[in-house]
Amino acid sequence: MTMLSEKKVILITGSSHGIGRYTAEILAREGHTVYATMRGIDRRNAPARAALTKPAETEGLDLRVLELDVTDDASVEAAVAAVVERSGRIDVVVNNAGTMFVGVTEAYTLEKARQQMETNFFGVLRVNRAVLPHMRARGDGLLIHVTSLAGRIVFPFFGIYSASKFALEALAETFRYELSPFGVDSVIVEPGPFGTNLIASVHPSDDHVRLKEYGDVAQIPVNMLSSFDQFLSSDDAPDAREVAGAVRDLIATPKGERPLRTVVGIDYGVRALNEAVAPTQQGLLEALEMTALATPASPVSG
């Protein structure tokens, strides 16, 4: 694998903690211009903003924190416009922002289910739509989508979360094909369980009448999350910086050589699943006579 050291302008969503924060720090220390975005930088995430800006100032890193709420059109458009105005372009977007809903699936109201999709799926689509006109005009760009193993396999009681990540996987892979003639690449990073803030901020089922009808079954996701939390808080827990490292490596890999999917950490067999499915997908592209769309190329003329 050939690595590049070219300085990139990178926008990262969900940078207040965990994978997003580590990714911002690692990429800035690699010499890239990094825009770490999050909600409420002057309110709830003011401490997170300070945690990023202080080392940036100390180390002389080209790292700035911007307000961006992936669920708000105006917020996304404003952040993208600010980056383009200041840096002239956006080379890479790391779609990392996400929330996790874990509980009895029937006991989620439609309103709560929509909230999950709004962040994990529509939020990514919203960011990509804001950025892609700039990338297509330049004939270059990289979209990195942080999904989950739960976007490829199903964990019981993760139904709403998995649905959002399955949808994101489909979106990211479709972008891979449709954007390749314009020189824009789309890839997927599939983390296993890591010690981030995601489990601590899980949204439980909110229809308590339905939940009560499940009796002892309703306790299963609670116990599952407790076990995950204990493991991820232990000395043997995998380090979320591994995901940030995978993002760094994908950015450094030349266009045309990046894998569509990169699994990081404990995989529960997803690496083998990806390998098994790839020939079927390739066969579909061949049947449609669209194999050229699998690899980013030069922009189409005209």
Q: What is the CA radius of gyration of the chain?
A: 19
CB 243 within 8 A of CB 28: no
Map out the domains of the chain as residue ranges.
9-286
The letter for the amino acid at 97 is A
pLDDT at 198: 63
User: In the numeric block, which tokens belong to residue 216?
Assistant: 């002892």
Maximum Cα–Cα distance across the chain = 62
160: part of which helix (H) or strand (E)? Answer: helix 159-179
- Residue 302 has a pLDDT of 41
> Is 9-286 a CATH 3.40.50.2000 domain?
no
pLDDT at 297: 72
The region of weakest confidence among 2-6, 128-132, 236-240, 254-258 is 2-6
Catalytic residue among 161, 177, 214, 268: 161
Q: How confident is the model at residue 222 (pLDDT cuts 50, 70, 90)?
A: very high
Q: Quote the tokens at residue 10.
A: 């990178």
Whether residue 161 lies in the annotated active site? yes
Q: What is the pTM of this model?
A: 0.94
